[in-house]
Structure 1
Amino acid sequence: MEIKNYFIEVPSVPDSLTAVEEFIIQITEDLNIDEDKLYGILLSVSEATTNAIVHANKKDPAKVVLVSVTVENNILTVKVKDQGPGFNPVAVPDPTKPENLLKDSGRGLFLMRIYAKSLTYIPSPQGTETILVFEV
């Protein structure tokens, strides 16, 4: 099977999330990925992009988020790269604990772990790269 690569770079503003979601939907349609898998992919990438825009890049329009997608042998790999200072995923509160159940946010990493085959973070001085791997 051939390797397919896709890229989009967006400014760190909340409206950019729509462009990233449309980008992911177009790729999954081009690849004929079924709707059940599309939901998990789209939700995970939306959460990773939101984290990059809001938490890492602090909605700074001068900073960008790069989303790259590679498809090879029924494996779809999405990389979301921000320009933020990084974070400690272990320090993120567990959204399933009673004290966190009613919070408006804090479920993104939890949801990504549910839907992705694997979830990895690569920190660097230039920002963090979140890598999501899905079987398609």
Structure 2
Amino acid sequence: MPQTHYHLEIESDPRNLITVEEFVNYFAVDLGLDEKKINGLLLSVTEATTNAIKHGNKNDINKIVNIDVDVVGDYLKISIKDQGSGFNPAEIPDPTHPENLLKDSGRGVYLMRVYMDEVDFKVTPEGAETILKLKIK
């Protein structure tokens, strides 16, 4: 029987994204997710982690990103925490708006919302947290 909690801690270095991908593949296969769900999950967790490294922790390798994965009933809850000051998701420009189509950033949150059942953002005293929920059953 697969476990119900998975944890990964990385330094804020984009080179650690490969470790994040391996981590996502590991728990997704362990939980028996299908390939379509795994692809959306990989993309969403990688985007959230990239945001945590780049925007939250400002690429400071002395700052940590924590990823916690929990099976809660029929859902997978993934929490990506950085040590940054957070942001207002309402201020992110719509990447589907014509003036934003060619921009090379700004699609991460949009893609998370496409592939996940729920996307939430919290600012805590320790930093910012992105919470992704995916129905797995």
| TM-score, reference length from structure 1 | 0.95
For 1:14 and 1:127, the matched residues in 2 are separated by: 19
For 2:2 and 2:41, the matched residues in 1 are separated by: 21
Partner of 1:82: 82
Shift of 1:74: 3.0
Partner of 1:105: 105
Which portions of structure 1, spanning 4 or more consecutive aligned residues, are displaced by more than 2 angstroms?
none
For 2:133 and 2:3, the matched residues in 1 are separated by: 15
Partner of 2:120: 120
Partner of 1:131: 131
Q: CA RMSD in A?
A: 1.4
Structure 2: runs of 5+ lacking an equivalent? none
Tell whether the 8 Å contact from 1:2 to 1:72 is kept in structure 2 after alignment: no
Matched, 1:21 2:21: yes
For 1:21 and 1:74, the matched residues in 2 are separated by: 23
Matched, 1:62 2:62: yes
For 2:74 and 2:17, the matched residues in 1 are separated by: 25
For 1:16 and 1:2, the matched residues in 2 are separated by: 25
Give me the identity figure in percent: 51
Partner of 1:4: 4
Q: Secondary structure at the match of 2:83?
A: coil
Shift of 1:31: 1.2
Q: Given residue 40 of structure 2, which amino acid in structure 1 is its aligned partner?
A: G
Q: Given residue 57 of structure 2, which amino acid in structure 1 is its aligned partner?
A: N
Q: Given residue 58 of structure 1, which amino acid in structure 2 is its aligned partner?
A: K
Shift of 1:2: 8.3
Tell me the number of residue pairs that the alignment of Structure 1 and Structure 2 aligns. Answer: 136
Matched, 1:39 2:65: no
For 1:17 and 1:3, the matched residues in 2 are separated by: 23
Q: Secondary structure at the match of 1:42?
A: helix
Shift of 1:96: 0.6
| TM-score, reference length from structure 2 | 0.95
Shift of 1:72: 3.2
Residues 38-83 of structure 1: per-residue CA shift (max 9 Å, x gap): 0111110011000000011011000000000001333111000000
